[in-house]
């Protein structure tokens, strides 16, 4: 005779327990950073379009930039193709970089397309206003975040140990296989996360200093900035390259959020609560 207990369906395993992962300060700073960075990126591309090239010289070298977004023109001066040039090698990027479609459907010479800039139309003065306003928001928010890192001693979690560094090859293999930490282990950064977040903590201050160096008024007050970056144009290049690195970091970050559990990750950054499965370590 079948017992009652054996006739009942197996008990469904609990989804897991919710644990505190991110403090309110971290969550607020994260979203302020996210909004500020998007506005700074779009307004920064608006500013870049005024002179879409980069050089390491003390002054702008229009003949030998190491990076530029330009357009090829026909005999009537109309743009026919967009070009991205990197260290003398040009690539056709028509429709995106160098030349994109205007409101009338024709190609117009423009470094970054209108949908990517703030404002969408070419207006250097307005782009600067957006950029400077949100730059100071980012600075103040960054100071709050950094102070919280120090006071909460959370910065120690970002600093990789010797054992962490030795585990880099294993961490890379695990990420390639899309095998992410589970259980309580998911509450701690792995070595790749530590290095990535630490690089951002370092990159942001350099990005801000390079941006300030492009201001003649700031250079007059702090002339050592020009010495540090070897000139205003070199500072502009550093500013642009660091911004590009942060965009790459953001893309990888979003991909990892989606692959490792978007709902759980978003919950932790909105409510501070993260769900882990019981019995996993």
The mean pLDDT of 57-81, rounded to a whole number, is 83
Between strands 98-101 and 89-92, the pairing is: unpaired
What pLDDT band is residue 184 in, cutting at 50, 70 and 90? Answer: low
Query: Residue 13 above 80 pLDDT?
Result: no
- Residue 99 pairs in a beta bridge with 109
E-assigned strand segments in 35-104: 53-54, 67-73, 79-86, 89-92, 98-101
Q: Which of 1-10, 23-32, 190-199 has the highest mean pLDDT?
A: 23-32
- Percentage of the chain exceeding pLDDT 90: 48
Q: If 0-12 CB within 10 Å is exposed, 13-18 middle and 19+ buried, where does residue 255 land?
A: exposed
Residue of 192, 236, 217, 178 whose CA lies nearest to 61? 236
Mean residue pLDDT of the chain comes to 85
pLDDT tens-digit series, residues 256-274: 889 888 898 899 899 988 8
Domains, in order of start, for the chain? 22-63+123-276 (1.20.950.20), 64-116 (no CATH)
Q: In sequence order, what are the residues at sequence separation of 6 or more whose Cβ sits closer than 8 angstroms to the Cβ of residue 130?
A: 39, 42, 43, 46, 118, 119
CA distance 39 to 65: 27
Query: Is the model's pLDDT at 164 over the cut of 90?
Result: no
Q: What is the largest CA-CA distance in the chain?
A: 95
Give the per-residue pLDDT at 20: 79
User: Which pLDDT belongs to residue 92?
Assistant: 95
150 or 14: whose pLDDT is higher?
A: 150
Average pLDDT over residues 212-238: 91
CA distance 278 to 184: 9
Residue 50 has a CB neighbour count (10 Å cut-off) of 12
Least confident of 109-118, 173-182, 209-218: 173-182
Whether pLDDT at 145 is above 70: yes
d(C-alpha 83, C-alpha 52), whole Å: 11
So what's the pLDDT on residue 84?
95
Contact 135, 44 (CB under 8 A): no
pLDDT tens profile 14-54: 567 788 788 899 999 999 999 999 999 999 999 999 999 99
Q: Which two three-digit tokens encode residue 90?
A: 């040009």
Tell whether pTM > 0.75: yes
Q: What is the pLDDT of residue 28?
A: 95
Q: Pick the range with the lowest mean pLDDT from 47-51, 98-102, 154-158, 206-210.
A: 154-158
The pLDDT of residue 183: 67
CA 137 – CA 146 distance, rounded (Å): 14
Residue 170, pLDDT > 80, answer yes
């Amino acid at each position: 005779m079948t017992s009652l207990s054996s006739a009942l369906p197996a008990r469904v395993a609990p989804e897991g327990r919710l644990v505190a992962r991110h403090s309110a300060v971290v969550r607020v700073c994260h979203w302020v950073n996210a909004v500020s960075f998007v506005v700074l990126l779009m307004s920064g591309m608006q500013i870049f379009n005024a002179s879409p090239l980069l050089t390491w010289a003390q002054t702008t070298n229009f003949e030998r930039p190491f990076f530029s977004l330009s357009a090829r023109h026909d005999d009537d001066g109309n743009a026919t193709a967009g070009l991205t040039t990197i260290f003398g090698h040009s690539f056709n990027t028509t429709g995106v970089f160098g030349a994109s479609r205007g409101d009338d459907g024709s190609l117009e010479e423009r470094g970054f397309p209108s949908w990517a800039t703030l404002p969408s139309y070419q207006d250097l003065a307005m782009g600067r206003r957006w950029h400077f306003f949100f730059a100071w928001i980012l600075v103040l928010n960054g100071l709050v975040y950094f102070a919280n890192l120090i006071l909460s001693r959370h910065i120690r979690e970002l600093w990789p140990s010797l054992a962490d560094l030795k585990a880099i090859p294993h961490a890379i293999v695990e990420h390639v296989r899309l095998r992410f930490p589970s259980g309580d282990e998911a509450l701690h950064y792995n070595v790749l996360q530590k290095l990535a977040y630490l690089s951002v903590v370092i990159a942001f201050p350099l990005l801000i200093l390079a941006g300030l160096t492009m201001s003649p008024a700031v250079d007059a007050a702090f002339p050592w900035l020009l010495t540090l970056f070897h000139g205003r144009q070199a500072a502009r290049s550093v500013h642009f390259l660091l911004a590009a690195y942060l965009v790459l970091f953001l893309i990888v970050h979003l991909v990892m959020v989606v692959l490792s559990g978007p709902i759980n990750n978003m919950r932790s950054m909105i409510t501070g609560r993260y769900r882990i499965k019981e019995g996993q370590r």
